[in-house]
Each structure stands twice: as C-alpha cells, then as structure tokens.
Amino acid sequence: MAKVGMIGAGSWGIALSVLLHNNGHDITVWSALTDEIHMLNREHEHKDKLPGVTLAEDIVFTTALEEAVKEKDILVLAVPSSFTRATAHSMRDFVKEGQIIVNVAKGIEESTLMTLSQVIEDEIPRADVAVLSGPSHAEEVGKSIPTTIVVGAKTKQTAELIQSVFMSDVFRVYTSPDVLGIELGAALKNVVALAAGIADGLGYGDNTKAALITRGITEIGRLGMEMGGKFETFCGLSGIGDLIVTCASMHSRNRRAGILIGQGKTMEEAMAEVKMVVEGVYSAKAAMRLAQKYDVELPIIEQVNEVLFNGKPAAAAVKDLMIRDKKIEIAHDEDWAGSNKEKNV
C-alpha cells in the first residue's frame, strides 16, 4: 500500500483518488477551497465536478497542504495548469528529497513557455517529477470504465513504480522516457480540440472533424519533434489517442467551449458556460510563441488564436485554412516525376 497525496480536488483529482483507493492505497486529498473540502467530507461525492461517483469514507479531505504532502510515497499534482506554479511553490517547504511528484495537469506556462513538469522542477528542484497522460476523461475513470494511459519519467525505476501504483484491471498504464513529448501532446491537443469544437458549433461534419484531427496531430508532432520529443509519442496515447478523445467527446471541456464559440459566443462567455477550466485557451498563445521560437508553422493553432484573441469570425478562420496554398502530405520520392522539395506544412 502506498501513501498518496492528491493535490487538487477537481474532477481529475477526484477520479484518480477513487482509482487509487480501489487499488488499495491510502489517499489524502487537498483543496485550497474550504467549502469544497467541507462538501467532500459531508457528502463523500463531488456533486459539482463528478456527480454520481462515491468517495470512500476513509479518504481524507483537507485544506492543510502540509498534511497532504508530508510522509507520502507519491504526490499527484492535479490542479489546473494556471495554478501549477503557485501550488508547487506553496508545497516546496514540505517536500522531501527525491519525492515523486506525478503531474496530471495539461498545459504550457505562457510566461516562460515551460512545460508543467519543468515548472514543478523549477519550484521544487529536489523532487523526482513524472507525468501521467493519455485519453482519460475523469467522468469515465471515476466510474471504472476501461482506460489506458502513459506515465513518463526520467528513470525506468520511477516510471515502473508509478505504473504499479496506478495500474488495475480497468486502468492500464504504459511507461515512456519521453516526458517532454508526452506533455507537449497533452497540452497542444487541447488547442486542436477547441478547433474541433468550433467546427461542430458551425454545423460542419465528420469530414471536417477528421481533417482537424489528422492535420492537428501533424502540427503537434512537427513542433514536438523540433523541441526534442519522439515521433512515437505523438503516434501514441498522449498524442493521437488523447487528441481523438478530446476532439470527439462531449466530456471534453475544450470541445464544449469550442462548440459555443462556433455558435457565436465569445471566449469569455464560452468559458463561463462550461464552468470548468478550459486548458486550451491558456495553451493557445504559448503554442504560437513556441512556433515562432522554433520556426514551425501551425496553421490550425494559429487560426484558433485568431478566433480566441483577435475577434476573427470562426467561419472565416475555417475558410482561411481551406484556401491556403497547395501543400504536399508525404514528401516526394527522388525518382517521382516532377519531384520537388516543397516544405510539408
């Protein structure tokens, strides 16, 4: 049995707490929100974020960060990406040398362009930081619906330890050394999911959705590999796998926000109606800054930024994607008649 501190009591933190408790581990859940902790202690259910999922009586809920962090085998950092740095900063005085911290949030810090694991390491250098990601909606994990995910860590030993703690007959965990690629796939797919939702809100069909998914993973992989991620990662669970589920499911807050934007609502109105953090909004600007830094073209992500922040009509953004200059999908073979060296973007 492992002692696990769950730092964050949103839908994903609660779903993982249920999973880990079912695996036989000792769980302490922290939230900065006093009302939320009182509700969890009273109801043993998060009626706002994960209704219908019952929490065991022996799960501890607390607003005391020290209680949730100290003397734990594993800490799971499950706060929204925009709160990752502040939470890590608050935790650091309680974190022991070599403490395993598993980040499960998805995003890129706009001000620094750091991935979230890099943010945590910046605040808590003595920690052993890993990431857990993949196609895994909290609503389904909380109900023990079969799910497959990947853990990325700097050492095989850490990855296999986390794998053993999280894995069950309904939650299959793979391991990977590509922490950077996993995090980039996880963050950037949220931006593409906004585009998919916008297309849905405009009334477009399956053809459009398939195009956005396939060209979206091309953009994610292009930037990710330029930054040092592995091609296989973007073909895997935290790449195309997470992108498919986030673009297709109504559990996806990014897709739901995109639908509302496609129907004519502003970004602010859409986020207010979804009532949850829409991570793709926070990652969109960072993605464009990374594209400029690494000289990579991201046409879909660029148009999402135009719609979100510059007031461009959603239909005009889709049209501009469709009428771009002619491109190639697969690089020409040297002996193909008329071959040239066009850039595949």
- CA 120 from centre of chain: 15
Distance from C-alpha of 77 to C-alpha of 74, rounded to nearest angstrom? 10
Same domain assignment for residues 14 and 70:
yes
Tokens, residue 72: 């734990």
Same domain assignment for residues 18 and 159:
yes
Mean pLDDT along residues 34-52: 94
Domain that holds residue 8: 3-177
Distance from C-alpha of 152 to C-alpha of 254, rounded to nearest angstrom? 24
Mean pLDDT along residues 198-215: 93
Residue 274: the pLDDT is 87
Tokens, residue 329: 């999908």
Q: Report the SS3 class of residue 302.
A: helix
For 299-310, how does the pLDDT look when each residue is reduced to its tens digit (9 = 90+)?
999 999 999 999
Residue 290: the pLDDT is 96
- CA 325 from centre of chain: 32
- Residue 49 counted as domain residue: yes
Instruction: Evaluate if residue 326 carries a pLDDT over 80.
Output: no
Instruction: Evaluate if residue 176 carries a pLDDT over 80.
Output: yes
Instruction: Evaluate if residue 342 carries a pLDDT over 60.
Output: no
Beta strand pairing status for 60-62 and 26-30?
Answer: parallel
Mean pLDDT along residues 195-214: 93
Q: What is the mean pLDDT of the chain?
A: 93
* Whether the Cβ atoms of residue 266 and residue 214 lie closer than 8 Å to each other: no
* Whether the Cβ atoms of residue 282 and residue 112 lie closer than 8 Å to each other: no
* Whether the Cβ atoms of residue 102 and residue 76 lie closer than 8 Å to each other: yes
Confidence of residue 340 (pLDDT cuts 50, 70, 90): low
* Letter string b/e over residues 60-81, b meaning 16 or more CB atoms within 10 A of that residue's CB: bbbbebeebbbebebbbbbbbb
DSSP 11-35: HHHHHHHHHHHHTT-EEEEE-S-HH
Confidence of residue 69 (pLDDT cuts 50, 70, 90): very high
Same domain assignment for residues 47 and 91:
yes
For 234-262, how does the pLDDT look when each residue is reduced to its tens digit (9 = 90+)?
999 999 999 999 999 888 899 999 999 99
**Which amino acid would we find at residue 20?**
L
Residue 163 to residues 12, 19, 174, 273, Cα–Cα distance (Å): 17, 13, 7, 36
Confidence of residue 331 (pLDDT cuts 50, 70, 90): confident
Residue 328: the pLDDT is 81
Residue 51: the pLDDT is 93
Q: Number of folded domains in the chain?
A: 2
Instruction: Evaluate if residue 336 carries a pLDDT over 80.
Output: no
For 1-18, how does the pLDDT look when each residue is reduced to its tens digit (9 = 90+)?
999 999 999 999 999 999
Beta bridge partners of 96: none
Catalytic positions, written as ranges: 189
Alpha helices (H) along 45-83: 65-69
Same domain assignment for residues 122 and 102:
yes
Residue 309: the pLDDT is 93
Same domain assignment for residues 249 and 306:
yes
| Residue 185's CATH number | 1.10.1040.10
Same domain assignment for residues 215 and 74:
no
Residue 276: the pLDDT is 77
* Whether the Cβ atoms of residue 175 and residue 163 lie closer than 8 Å to each other: yes
Confidence of residue 337 (pLDDT cuts 50, 70, 90): low
Same domain assignment for residues 254 and 240:
yes
In 3D space, the residue among 105, 134, 132, 141 whose CA is nearest the CA of residue 23 turns out to be: 141
For 158-172, how does the pLDDT look when each residue is reduced to its tens digit (9 = 90+)?
999 999 999 999 999
In three state form, how does the secondary structure of 228-239 look? Answer: CCCHHHHCCHHH
DSSP 180-224: HHHHHHHHHHHHHHHHHHHHHHTT--HHHHHHHHHHHHHHHHHHH
Residue 338: the pLDDT is 59
* Whether the Cβ atoms of residue 98 and residue 74 lie closer than 8 Å to each other: no
Looking at 126, 148, 177, which one is the last position of a domain? 177
Same domain assignment for residues 108 and 156:
yes
For 82-129, how does the pLDDT look when each residue is reduced to its tens digit (9 = 90+)?
999 999 999 999 999 999 999 999 999 999 999 999 999 999 999 999
